[in-house]
A and B are shown apart, each in its own frame.
Chain A
């Protein structure tokens, strides 16, 4: 069972627009989440600068001692990243699925303002379903 600790979505300028915690130890306050999100945005950009060959698109997977961080960047620069247990599988497909949910339930919501924090009920519902599904390893996409 792949445990997901938290999920973040950051807009193209590095602002945190969505953050959900699925049970990491020690609550992080909002300011810390915002700082972490913009720090990740910068590290992502710097990693492209340091590439030894052309065409680097930034960090996809960061393997830390106690967690893995998978990041997916959409063509418009919105970044989705998930913090999960080391060695968790199918995270790329989960991130792509979350991106689909984002396009369907956030971008197509007429009341959503671009680059602003996501407050869309349908997105929340579908997201929690997707993550639940993934928790029982049924996301066979």
Chain B
């Protein structure tokens, strides 16, 4: 089975965008340039505020399946997990159609509530309430990454891209991962920050190649943790 997201990884692989000659879809091509190469940058973006300010993280695929949910600090739970994920996805979906319709800079906006492709229409990258800030990123294949943090956190777009790169490297490129399945994660339970998602698959089922990659990623994570 070919992972649907391998589209991305193949295309982002060491091409700077100009030598990428896939015919047709200019929009996707633009996005590919936007996300850059698939190599994980050597250092993650520096944390904007020090301390434990991450509350939750969600990863959804384009069908609204929650691939990954992680919480670090969530004293208030009003719903059961499934309903919570559904509500979160619904909120993002509706906010996206709201921003697409409200966009004051474009004249042609279509009808409210019509489903849109990722990258189509005006989207949003964060919202803030008095108790939390939600940062959101959608990849061209429809993967949504959501970080819920302290309201005074700065711009997390770089961090989200970094997390997306980790997802591409260690989940999409894992041959044992079937697309759409929840991600099984061996979390490193040391740090309480949003940046500790670094070993995202099962130890038990690894080939030697994967072991090597895993080793590299945990070195990477150690570096990460040192920097924090």
A125 nearest CB across to chain B (Å): 24
Q: Considering the complex, which residues of chain B in the window 33-61 have a beta carbon less than 8 Å from any beta carbon of chain A? A: 55-56
Contact A46 B87 (CB under 8 A): yes
The number of chain B residues with a CB under 8 A from chain A is: 42
**B30 part of interface (Cβ distance < 8 Å):** no
Give the distance in Å from the alpha carbon of A118 to the alpha carbon of B17 in the complex: 53
**A114 part of interface (Cβ distance < 8 Å):** no
Q: Considering the complex, which residues of chain A in the window 42-62 have a beta carbon less than 8 Å from any beta carbon of chain B? A: 42-43, 46-62
Chain B residue contacts of A26, Cβ below 8 A: 106-109
Give the distance in Å from the alpha carbon of A42 to the alpha carbon of B95 in the complex: 10
A3 nearest CB across to chain B (Å): 9
Contact A54 B76 (CB under 8 A): yes
**B90 part of interface (Cβ distance < 8 Å):** yes
- B74-114: CB near A (< 8 Å → 1, else 0) gives 11101100001001101100110111011111111100100
Residues in B lying within 8 Å of A, measured CB to CB: 55-56, 71, 73-76, 78-79, 84, 87-88, 90-91, 94-95, 97-99, 101-109, 112, 122-132, 134, 148
- Extra contacts, 17 of them, besides A57-B129, A61-B127, A64-B124 (Cβ < 8 A), are A26-B106, A26-B108, A39-B97, A39-B98, A49-B78, A50-B87, A52-B76, A53-B75, A53-B131, A60-B128, A60-B130, A62-B99, A62-B128, A63-B126, A65-B124, A66-B103, A67-B102
